[in-house]
Structure 1
C-alpha cells in the first residue's frame, strides 16, 4: 500500500516528486557544502543563491542520468519481499551515492565558475563530507516531505474518484 500511496504513479507525479526533492535539496545542500568550504558568512550564502538555478538544472540532469543505474543497484541489494522502508532507504543510498560522485566535481566547477582539476584532485577528501550531508538531507528532509505531498495528493485523488 505504501508503494501505491507514497510514490508517483505517473510521469506528471514523478515530475512533481522530483521537483520537490530537487528544490529542497539544492536549497539546503549547496549552501551548507559551500559554507563548509568558504566559511559560514552571509556573503558566502548570498553568492550561493546566485548560482542555485544553474546547480538545480545540473541536479535535474544528473537525477535523470542516474535514475536507472540507481534503480538497478537497488534491485541488486533489495528483494521483492522487503519492506517499503527498506526499498526507500536503499534507493536513497544508491541515488545519493551516484549523484554525490558527479556533483562533488560538477558542483565545484559551477560554484567556482571555473573548470579545473582541483575538485578531481581533492575528490576523496571532499566527497565523504558531501555524501554525508546529501544523505542526511535526502533521507531526513527532502524525501519525507515529497512522499508526504504525494501521499496527500493520492488521498485527494482517490477521494475525488470515489465521489465521482
Structure 2
C-alpha cells in the first residue's frame, strides 16, 4: 500500500516527484560541498548559486540515466516481498552511489567552470564525503518530503477531491 500511496503513479507525478527531490537536493548538497571545499563565506555561496541551474540540469539527466541501473542494482539486494522502507533505503543507496560517482567529477567541472583532470586525481578523497552528504540529504530530507507530497496528493485524489495531477 505504501508503494501505491507514497510513490508516483504516472509520468506527471514522477516529474513532480523528481522536481521536488532534485531542487531540494541541489540547493542543499551543492552549496554544502562547495563551502566544505573552499570555505563558508557569503561570496562562495553566491558563486555557487550562479551555477546551480547547470548542476540541476546535470542531476536531472543523471537521475533519468541511472534510474534503471539503480533499480537493477536494488533488485540484487532486496526481495519483492521486503518492506517499503527496505526498498526505499536500498534504492536511495544505489541511486546516490551511482550519481555521486558522476557528480563528483561533473560537479567539479561545472563549479570550477573548467574541464580538467583534477576531479579524477582527487576522486577517492572527495567522493566518500560527497556520497555521505548526498545520502544523508536524500534519505532524511529530499525523498521524505517528496513522498509526503505524493501521499497527500494521493489521499486527496482518492477521497474524491479533484486530483492534483491527471
Report the TM-score when normalising by structure 2. Answer: 0.96
Alignment of 1:40-119 (within 5 A): 40-119=40-119
**Cα distance in 2 between the residues matched to 1:64 and 1:6:** 20
**Cα distance in 2 between the residues matched to 1:81 and 1:145:** 25
Q: Cα deviation per residue 1:8-55 (whole Å; 9 max; x = unaligned)? A: 000000000000000000000000000011100000000000000010
Question: Which aligned runs of 4 or more in structure 1 are off by greater than 6 angstroms?
Answer: none
Following superposition, the deviation at residue 161 of structure 1 comes to 6.2
Aligned length: 162
**Cα distance in 2 between the residues matched to 1:151 and 1:120:** 41
Residue segments in structure 1 that go unaligned for 5+ positions in a row = none
**Cα distance in 1 between the residues matched to 2:122 and 2:161:** 54
Alignment of 1:1-164 (within 5 A): 1-160=1-160
User: What is the Cα-based RMSD across aligned positions, in Å?
Assistant: 1.0
Q: Cα deviation per residue 1:64-112 (whole Å; 9 max; x = unaligned)? A: 1100000000011100110000000000000000000000000000000
SS state at 1:9 partner: coil
**Cα distance in 1 between the residues matched to 2:157 and 2:150:** 10
Residue segments in structure 2 that go unaligned for 5+ positions in a row = none
SS state at 1:16 partner: helix
